[in-house]
Amino acid sequence: SIKSTFSHHSEMACIDSLWMRELGNADLFEAMQEDLKSINPDTEVAYELSTELLKKRLQDMDAKSPFNIEYSKSLENIIKSYLKNRPRSYERLMAISEYYFPMFEEYLAKYNVPLEIKYLAVVESALNTRAKSRVGATGLWQFMYPTGKQYNLEVNSYVDERSDPLKATEAACQYLTSLYNMFGDWDLVLASYNAGPGNVTKAIRRSGSYKNYWNIRKNLPQETQGYVPAFLATMYIYEYSKEHGIKPKKAPLTYFETDTIMVKRQMSFRQLAQVLDVPVSQLQFLNPIYKLDVIPYTTQKAHYLRLPKEKIGLFTNNESAIYAYIDHEDSKRERPVYNVVEKPKQAYASTSYKKKKSTSADSYVAKRGDNLGAISNKYGVSVADLKKWNKIKGNNLMAGQRLRIEKSTTVLEPQKGEAIAANTKEIRDAATAAAAQAEAEKAQLVSDAEAEKLVEAKSALAAKEAARKKEANYERERMYIVQKGDSLFSIAKKHPGVTVENLKNWNEIKGESIQPGMKLKLEVSSNL
């Protein structure tokens, strides 16, 4: 059994589980999107940071960057707003950055794009590979569908390569390079990345042909007016995090080797998690392009599975057994039932038939650890039949005990006294169909050696499932009474792990409006 080689460390498993949840958490993305939509760059914010000191730091940043980092009151307001309201969010983002920034910098250097562009992914997606905006922009770099297709990113019902960190980052570098070739200014590249090059061109024309972002800003869409300042504010906070007491929450793992393997069957993350002892959350993190948590397989195009490197060896060494297990699991799915349609009776076909069961028997020698339930599942019979055929009263089996397993097929036989010759064709057809059915049933059975592995794997999986249920999250419901001034967003912020979308779904709220005194149901998961 593959699972007999696994070792389980509960403390590390808990850390991995919590960290994978953080990497896939959508609340940072939702908060960033809300800020971009609602923040007013012209509203002053009370925060202890002198204007003179800020100007000096911005000058130092400008000297090291190809961006035009100039002081403005709008930029100061956004920096102070983030420092006052989002310090904990940036601590979390800086920890997640340790996974992505080295890869970003490698591609940015390859395409000669400023390394500071890595902060764009923080503003766009809060470094969430599966982030999806209200208008359908997806992935770390928030590509719209047409732009993704323009840069050869596959998007279909199963796969969305806009969520692939490597492919999407390379596509982003290519797109940003094309925008720079168009405008020749990195500030305008940022603006056009958000609003589209057409809107930036219109803003330049309406402003009297100015080409400095701050001169055309008032002619850009409302969201874009705060977009470039949000990018520069994020860059500032990353550069001066220590000075503002922002200490990144260190990731438990900053790097682990992975590799890919092409799959030869359609398989789900749930199946892979069971046979490889890899959490589904880790499979989702390493393979974010699979929208349904299913890796498709077609003869036209193979798809890859990314795994921790030590699991690649486990997969390749047990590939046949893994595919046999997946085929066995898939065989349990309910299939369409096709009814036999009677042919129109011919003049000579007045003969009637009766069904007759033909019984044959196999034998199986019980092995240590076998039980009646596992054997009945293997051969597709009931436990009651096994007991009946072998005159077993209890549920115990002895190793070496030989079991009789009967198989029945149905044939048609003309009733006594009827003419047989006239109906030879129908009988032959029925016999052929019965033989084909028997062959199909035989083909579905795996070899004894493979079946034995499957029984052992199933027993181990059942034991693991029982243990997992003991550690499962218990759901408890709470009620929250809406106070004056509350919004869905502010309530979600008060309850870690709860999103605006959660609140809407749990309480069947369609819009954004809530009233004081309204009772909201909160479903809060607690890890025990």
Domain boundaries, the chain: 26-244, 256-331, 353-460, 474-526
Identify whether the C-beta of residue 41 lies closer than 8 Å to the C-beta of residue 81. Answer: no
From residue 25, alpha-carbon distances to 128, 161, 417, 495, 503 in Å are: 7, 19, 76, 14, 16
At residue 210, the pLDDT reads 92
Which CATH number does the domain 26-244 belong to among 3.30.460.10, 1.10.530.10, 1.10.390.10, 3.40.50.720?
1.10.530.10
At residue 122, the pLDDT reads 95
- Could you give the angle at the alpha carbon of 474 between the alpha carbons of 253 and 478, nearest 5°? 110
Give the architecture (CATH level 2) of 353-460. Answer: Roll (3.10)
Per-run averaged pLDDT (10 residues), the chain, 528 residues: 46 44 70 80 89 96 94 93 91 90 96 97 94 93 96 96 96 98 96 95 94 93 90 96 87 68 93 91 92 91 90 90 89 72 49 59 81 78 83 81 77 49 47 50 47 56 55 54 83 80 84 82 56
Task: Give the integer Cα–Cα distance in Å for 383 and 375.
Answer: 8
Fold of 474-526: Membrane-bound Lytic Murein Transglycosylase D; Chain A (3.10.350)
Residue whose pair of structure tokens reads 């920034």 in the numeric block: 101
At residue 11, the pLDDT reads 42
At residue 205, the pLDDT reads 95
**Two domains, one topology: 353-460 and 474-526:** yes
At residue 496, the pLDDT reads 76
At residue 80, the pLDDT reads 94
Identify whether the C-beta of residue 41 lies closer than 8 Å to the C-beta of residue 74. Answer: yes
Q: The pTM is what?
A: 0.61
Query: What is the Cα 482 distance to its own chain's centre?
Result: 33
The 3-state DSSP composition of the chain as helix, strand, coil percent (nearest 5) reads 55, 10, 35
Q: Is 54 exposed, middle or buried (0-12, 13-18, 19+ CB in 10 A)?
A: middle
Identify whether the C-beta of residue 141 lies closer than 8 Å to the C-beta of residue 125. Answer: yes
